[in-house]
């Protein structure tokens, strides 16, 4: 993982001298969330990944790690986007059960379509529709604790707006996302339960202040379902600092509170992510 992050940084530094990024303003592509979609750390936003503006292509790659008391979640992935309207992404998640032993892997394929509004320039927020197809690669354990399916589809609508000169002369980003999902612990513990195969409609929100063009400080909240009888599932929270070093490289660090996971209470720890964009 460390190697993955370091090689991503090295690759980005190498290419940043020779590669022209798109026309979007720095930081407006957001970071990449753990599912591979442009957003914050845990919430997908309406922004399209990378710096491709109208009629431009962009690509990103990311590696992130969340380390809490009894678990470690590593994600790597990549996206391409076009016209600041379409985003296609893939991510591989590896969820290490540090205290129990073993690991669970999940793949996420995402697509996002920007339907209205412009993040910076319209009074209405930027609106996007997203879909994430999630496929669990080690379903035996989730199945044993009561999950119904090894795969699931999340659908979401996100609204994101940068309010210019909003607080103390600084720009503020607000995001609200409504997600329909059957996923237990975002799919890491499978989809649906023996008793229920219904979609849940959940809210996710982010707020960040742009200290300057390159640094954002913010918080996120992710509402979670609580369907598995085996163990409680709780809402997620994080606080983060994102540093957009240039249009080719950004680093995000944060503190996360993931609540109860698989019977382990108070799962808190760090979040670290590196993203390269071209």
Partner 1 sequence: MIRPPLKLIALLLILLQSACSQQAAPSLYQQLGGEAGINAITDGLLYEIEHDSRIVHHFADTDIARFRRLLAEQLCEISGGPCKYSGETMAKSHTGFNISLADFDALVEGLIKVMQRENIAISAQNQLLALLAPMYKDISYR
Nearer to partner 1, 164 or 201 (CB): 164
Other residues' Cβ atoms within 10 Å of the Cβ of residue 168: 8
- One residue of 3, 17, 18, 123 binding partner 1 per CB under 8 A: 123
From residue 76 to residue 95, the character string flagging contacts with partner 1 as x (rule: CB under 8 A) and all else as - is --------x-----------
Q: Does 29 bind partner 1 (CB under 8 A)?
A: no
Q: How many helices and strands in the chain, by DSSP H and E? A: 2, 16
Contacts of partner 1 in 187-216 (CB under 8 A): 212-213
Largest CA distance in the chain: 55
Cα radius of gyration rounded to whole Å, the chain: 18
Residue 30 near partner 1 by CB under 8 A: no
CB of 211 to partner 1, least distance (A): 8
Long-range CB pairs of 222-227, under 8 A, 24+ apart, other chains included: 222/42, 222/43, 224/185, 224/186, 224/259, 225/181, 225/183, 225/184, 225/200, 227/184, 227/192, 227/193, 227/195, 227/196, 227/200
Q: Which stretch binds partner 1 (CB under 8 A): 98-106, 131-139, 166-174, 257-265?
A: 166-174
Residue 66 in 3-state DSSP?
strand
- By beta-carbon proximity to partner 1, the closer residue of 171 and 177 is 171
Among 3, 101, 121, 140, binds partner 1 (CB under 8 A): 121
The site for partner 1 (CB under 8 A) is made up of 22-25, 53-56, 84, 118, 120-123, 164-165, 168-171, 212-213
């Amino acid at each position: 993982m460390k190697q993955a992050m370091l090689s991503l940084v090295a690759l980005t530094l190498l290419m940043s001298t020779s590669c022209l990024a798109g026309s979007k303003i720095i930081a407006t592509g957001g970071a990449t969330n753990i599912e591979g979609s442009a957003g914050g750390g845990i919430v997908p936003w309406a922004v399209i990944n990378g710096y491709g503006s109208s009629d431009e292509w962009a690509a990103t790659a990311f590696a992130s790690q969340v380390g809490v008391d009894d678990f470690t979640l590593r994600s790597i992935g990549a996206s391409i986007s076009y016209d600041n309207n379409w985003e296609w992404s893939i991510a591989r998640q590896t969820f290490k059960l540090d205290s129990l032993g073993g690991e669970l892997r999940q793949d996420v394929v995402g697509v996002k379509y920007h339907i209205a509004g412009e993040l910076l320039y319209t009074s209405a927020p930027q609106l996007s529709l997203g879909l994430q197809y999630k496929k669990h690669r080690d379903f035996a354990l989730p199945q044993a604790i009561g999950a119904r399916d090894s795969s699931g589809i999340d659908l979401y609508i996100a609204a994101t707006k940068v309010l210019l000169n909003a607080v103390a002369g600084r720009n503020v980003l607000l995001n609200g996302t409504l997600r329909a999902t059957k996923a237990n612990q975002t799919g890491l513990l499978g989809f649906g339960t023996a008793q229920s195969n219904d979609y849940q409609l959940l809210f996710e929100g982010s707020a960040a202040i742009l200290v300057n063009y390159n640094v954002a400080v913010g918080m996120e909240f992710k509402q979670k379902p609580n369907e598995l009888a085996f163990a409680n599932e709780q809402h997620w929270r994080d606080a983060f600092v994102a540093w957009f070093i240039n249009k080719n490289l950004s680093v995000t660090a944060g503190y996360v509170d993931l609540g109860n996971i698989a019977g382990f209470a108070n799962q808190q720890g760090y979040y670290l992510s590196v993203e390269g964009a071209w």
